[in-house]
Amino acid sequence: MSEDSSVAPSPEETILAVEDLEKHFGGIVALDGVDLSVGSGITGLIGPNGAGKTTFFNCLTGFYTPEVGSITFQGADITGSRPAAVAKSGMVRTFQIPRELSEMTVLENLLLAPPDQSGERLSGAWLRGDAFVDDELSVRERALEMAEFFELDHLLDEPAGNLSGGQRKLLELARALLTDPEMVLLDEPLAGVNPTLEEKILDRIHDLEAQGYSFLFVEHDIEMIMNHCDRVIVLHRGEVLTTGTPEEVQTDDRVIEAYLGEVDV
């Protein structure tokens, strides 16, 4: 099902475009011809349990390969690309359950994130010339700045596995941003987070939006989505049910019916 073109970003404003995307698991159709486009700012992606939201994220970021359809990011076809290639193209994601390296410190986790470091290349690591040293210092400086931005700087020497759930979400978002993305896909970034850290995460996301980052945001807290997103896309049974402003979506009878029809919502 196609989205409502009246609320879609123009071709010039579109960063991510998905056409006729299908993903099957045996006889189960998880995504059934998804058509949508995402522009700048913060876009919310909602839908009842089983609507296909996480499957959609997995297809976008290369963890699943769709059977049908195309994914275009910043004008380039990334359909079926591997996760590392998708991230290198400028689209990164976070996960419902953070995937930090728990035995490493917060700082070590951050230092691993920036791409194309000299130490990743055998020649750079072996020769360790001035360029290598400059690169290492630059990466460290960026990591420390990101830690300060997310108020993790007092935890730099702490093993990442010792962080609270909310702190781990902040660390994961910090690591994602250190890859220099154009768009960040947030998969339930507030799940299990206490209200104080939830507010901190949302404040950081809005600060980053003001700096030019774009976000596609999956979250079960509908009120939060309506209060913090510029545009909302609703998935239902693997299809785009509707798109619009938060005001339009929350008064749409189809959306109300879709949620009320789910006994576990």
> What is the tally of structural domains in the chain?
2
Q: Same structural domain for residues 68 and 109?
A: no
Position 129 scores a pLDDT of 57
* Residue 260: per-residue pLDDT: 62
**Residue range of the domain that includes 209:** 1-100+180-265
Reported as type and span, the H/E element at residue 100 is none
CB atoms within 10 A of CB 75: 9
- Asked, for residue 171, whether it belongs to a domain, the answer is no
The CA-based angle 51-7-233, given to 5 degrees, is 15
Q: What is the pLDDT of residues 56-78, one digit of tens each?
A: 999 999 999 999 999 999 999 99
Give, in order, the Cα–Cα distances in Å from 83 to each of 2, 164, 170: 26, 27, 21
- The verdict on residue 91 lying in a domain is yes
Q: Are residues 62 and 190 in the same domain?
A: yes
123 plus 4 within the same structural domain = no
Q: Are residues 109 and 81 in the same domain?
A: no
Model pLDDT, residue 127: 54
Same domain, yes or no: 238 and 213: yes
C-alpha dihedral over 87, 88, 90, 96, to 10 degrees? 10
Q: Is there a domain that residue 5 lies in?
A: yes
Residue 167 domain flag: no
Buried b (16+ CB within 10 A) or exposed e, 10-26: eeeebbbbbbebbbeee
Q: Edge-to-edge, what's the strand order for the sheet holding 68-73?
A: 28-38, 16-25, 68-73, 76-77
**Is residue 233, in this structure, part of any structural domain at all?**
yes
Query: How far is it, in rounded angstroms, from Cα 173 to Cα 185?
Result: 10
* Same-domain pairing of 69 and 187: yes
Q: Examine the domain organization and report whether 118 and 249 are in the same domain.
A: no
Residue ranges of the chain with pLDDT lower than 50?
1-2, 5-6, 263-265
CA 164 to chain centre: 20
- pLDDT score, position 135: 64
Say what the pLDDT of residue 7 is. 60
- Both 32 and 148 in one domain: the answer is no
Same domain, yes or no: 78 and 12: yes
The candidate with the shortest Cα–Cα distance to 167, out of 221, 226, 102, 216, is 102
CATH code, 57? 3.40.50.300
Do residue 145 and residue 216 come from a single domain? no
* DSSP assignment letter at 106: H
Distance (Å, whole) CA 259 – CA 97:
24
Give the tens place of pLDDT for each residue, 12-27: 689 999 999 999 999 8
How far, in Å, CA of 91 to CA of 84, rounded?
A: 10
Q: Longest C-alpha distance within the chain, in Å?
A: 64
239 shares its domain with 127: no
Residue 120 resides in a domain = yes
Length of the chain: 265
Which has the closest alpha carbon to 238: 5, 11, 35? 35
Tell me, yes or no, whether 119 and 78 share the same domain.
no
Q: What are the E-state strand segments in the chain?
A: 16-25, 28-38, 42-46, 68-73, 76-77, 91-93, 183-187, 214-218, 231-236, 239-244
CA distances from 246 to 3, 44, 69, 232, 264 (A): 15, 9, 27, 6, 23
175 domain residue, yes or no: no
Q: Are 144 and 111 in contact (CB under 8 A)?
A: no
Interatomic CA distance for residues 80 and 70, integer angstroms:
9
